[in-house]
Amino acid sequence: MRQVRALVVAGFGINCEEETAAAYRLAGAEADIAYLNSILHGTCSIHDYDVLTLPGGFSFGDDLGAGKALANKLRYRTLPSGRLFFDEASAFVEEGKYIFGICNGFQVLAKMGLLPNTNGDYDQEVTLTTNASGRFEDRWCHCTSLSVGKTPFLKGIDVISLPVRHGEGRLVIRDASIEERIIAQSLNCLSYSDSGGTPTAKFPMNPNGSQLNCAGLCDSTGRIFGMMPHPEAYLSAYNHPDWPRMRRLRPDTSEEGEGLQIFRNIVEHIKSR
């Protein structure tokens, strides 16, 4: 069986590429890190891979709003082939492949129009903007999966503990009709919650004030998925700030961090196909 291949983008202020590639390798995939310019200049093709990942970071310093400059670059840049990168990314998904955006990567996918894409026209329908608290939030939170099988990234996940670290993570939906379609199509697939798994708008359990308590969105195919929390930052139990107490209470539990499950899910799903 051919090994699953993951491409992790780097450059222009992205700074979580190493942890993200490590997550795919721990999940059993082959992972390559490629600077964005090598893709835009045609020396690296996304079509050689099964899953394309835009990691977290501060692309272009967030100077035009988090992810906006990179989203414009990816949406409108013409490749040496004469095709837009955006067209290549759309074709990549139509081939049955997967795109994953984490934090800044999620912001980019939303501002490119790839998420949630409720109308199928790739118009920008949502944004991720300044946290309701008015400050950068660096804390751990609980998230509940609402996917009901919508996206393979969240298979088998009920409640998951993950860190957030962002200044612009608040999901704002353009209008009520788009919000209705997001709900009707079950695209709000990951929600900030309390420790018991009940979605909540209460701060700090919801760290940014997102509409629909949204921590992650997918498109209607489930093949494009974006989330604000950082699963690549919880690959080992020892990444958690409360790990000593957790290990004392449950000494026989796995030393795996909960975030690894998301990467294992997509790798195993691609293998099964």
The full set of domain ranges for the chain reads 5-131+168-176+217-272
Alpha-carbon span 181 to 115, nearest angstrom:
12
Residue 63's pLDDT is what?
A: 85
For the chain (273 residues), the mean pLDDT of every run of 10, in chain order, is: 93 97 98 97 97 97 92 96 96 97 98 97 97 97 90 97 98 98 97 96 98 98 98 97 92 93 98 91
Its CATH architecture, for the domain 5-131+168-176+217-272, is 3-Layer(aba) Sandwich (3.40)
The label of the residue with tokens 């939303």 reads: 110
φ/ψ (deg, to 5) at 139: -160, 170
Catalytic residue among 142, 230, 240, 269: 230
Residue 229's pLDDT is what?
A: 98
**Residue 232 appears among annotated catalytic residues:** yes
Catalytic residue among 19, 125, 168, 232: 232
**Residue 230 appears among annotated catalytic residues:** yes
Give pairs for 14-17: CB < 8 Å, separation 24+: 14/54, 14/55, 14/56, 14/57, 14/59, 14/104, 14/105, 15/55, 15/56, 15/57, 15/58, 16/55, 16/56, 16/57, 16/102, 16/103, 16/230, 16/232, 16/233, 17/55, 17/57
Length of the chain: 273
Residue 273's pLDDT is what?
A: 85
Element (H, E) at 39: helix 36-40
Residue 149's pLDDT is what?
A: 81
Residue 2's pLDDT is what?
A: 81
Catalytic residue among 16, 17, 19, 103: 103
Cα Rg of the chain (Å, integer)? 17
